Amino acid sequence: MTMSDNDVTGAGTRAALEVAARASLRAPSVFNTQPWRWRLTGDVLELSSDPARRLGVTDAEGRLLLLSCGGALHHAKVSLAAAGWLADVQRFPDEERPDLLARVRVTGPTEPDVEAELLAAAISRRRTDRRAFGDRRVPDEILTRLRRLVEAQGAYLHVVPDERVPELAISVDEAADANYFDPVHRGELSHWTHRPAWTGDGVPPGTAVQPGLRRVPVRNFLPDGSSGLLPGADHDEGATFVIVFGSTDQPAGLLRGGEAMSALLLRATADGLASAPISEAVEVAWPRHLLGRLLSGIGEPYLIVRLGYVEAPGDVPPTPRRSPADVILIED
């Protein structure tokens, strides 16, 4: 018995969807919680949030969970487009299932997308680099390209002018202080920075960075004094700080914001930039309000990202990832 053309196409789409779900495992997430689940049935891939992995203190409103899941969705979209598949994405397709964030259906083959191929190649290379960046400035043409990519995903990008970076630093610093003096938050931080190796998640000390002088503070993942990466001799003098923002703080906007975050980070990696998301100032209400002032009140801030060039030798080690079997459910 030979397979029909439909059988061949069906097998190809299922394989592509499984590859896409696996690619999404490399998406960034707050505290590397990886708070998503995939379900593959036929030619449909469903993305759901995993409420058990939401940070109850750091992310009490679930904003960062949605941004993280949006990053996973974009990684999957990129994988499909790079492999030459058209896909229809329905966001929040079922009102009675609020944890169901997206339904991805393959609609047919196409020519591989050149931009998607570039981003897909960056997935395995992207790192959150918390080390200090050097004096080299990010070219305007790269920032313009990043802005267009973010807008293509349904969000916006604001480049913080140098003269307003001190305001940004104040918002991040105030949020960091609020978190530091909250013992419950510190307990949550400790939980996700001291994970057993078999869990495949969390922020290992080897990827955290020792405190150092910066234009904008970097989260101290090791307040107990554990050793981490050296920050380097530079002080972020050439770093560019951008804010990913949208027109709403509703779930649909936040999911789109996560997709935009992913596009930004992958393209930055492809362009040879180092990057590091900064979420502290959106975790606490008052600092988030200060961020809104940097946007002149025209948008809802989702995330800060630090962009630049690292002069220090060596690469940042990869953070662990959960086993595909724990995240992806494949049904016949």
The CATH number of whichever domain residue 15 belongs to comes to 3.40.109.10
Q: Which residue has the higher pLDDT, 178 or 1?
A: 178
Helices 63-82 and 251-270 sit at what angle, rounded to 10 degrees? 50
The dihedral over CA atoms of 180, 185, 190, 191, expressed in degrees to the nearest 10, equals -170
- Kindly state whether residues 274 and 192 are assigned to the same domain: yes
Same domain, 48 and 73: yes
For 223, which DSSP code? T
Residue 211: inside a domain, yes or no? yes
**Token pair in block for residue 40:** 């593959």
pLDDT digits (tens, 9 = 90+) for 53-86: 999 999 999 999 999 999 999 999 999 999 999 9
- Does residue 85 or residue 8 have the better pLDDT? 85
Tell me: do 159 and 18 sit in the same domain: no
Residue 47 within a domain: yes
Whether 245 and 289 map to the same domain: the answer is yes
Instruction: Please give the mean pLDDT across all residues of the chain.
Output: 92
For the beta sheet containing 44-49, the strands, ordered from the edge strand earlier in sequence to the opposite edge, are 85-91, 100-109, 44-49, 36-41, 328-331
Please choose, from the candidates 261, 299, 57, 265, the residue with its C-alpha nearest in 3D space to the C-alpha of residue 175.
Answer: 57
**What pLDDT does residue 223 have?**
74
The Cα–Cα gap between 259 and 278 comes to: 16
Q: What is the pLDDT confidence band of residue 2, given thresholds at 50, 70 and 90?
A: very low
pLDDT at residue 6 in the model? 52
| Mean pLDDT score, 125-130 | 94
Does the residue 54 lie in any domain? yes
114 and 240 co-located in one domain: no
Sign of the dihedral defined by the CA atoms of residues 278, 302, 122, 14, in that order:
positive
Does the residue 276 lie in any domain? yes
Same-domain status, 180 and 246? yes
Expressed as residue numbers, the domain containing 325 is 5-125+320-331
Query: Does residue 120 sit in the same domain as residue 158?
Result: no
Same domain membership, residue 16 and residue 158: no
- Coil, strand or helix: which one is 43? coil
The total of structural domains in the chain comes to 2
* Domain assignment of residue 135, yes or no: no
Could you tell me if residue 131 is inside a domain? Answer: no
Domain for residue 118, yes or no? yes
Global pTM reads: 0.95
**pLDDT score of 247:** 95
Cα separation, 13 vs 303, whole angstroms: 34
Same domain for 27 and 174, yes or no, is: no
> Is residue 64 within 8 Å of residue 21, measured between CB atoms?
no
Residue 5 has pLDDT above 80, yes or no: no
Q: Indicate whether 294 and 149 sit together in one domain.
A: yes
Same domain, 115 and 158: no
As a residue count, the chain comes to 332
Question: Are 292 and 249 members of one domain?
Answer: yes
For tokens 């101290």, the residue is 220
In Å, what is the CA distance from 163 to each residue of 166, 170, 218? 7, 13, 19
Give domain status of residue 236, yes or no. Answer: yes
pLDDT at 36 over 90: yes
pLDDT band at 227 (very low <50, low <70, confident <90, very high): low
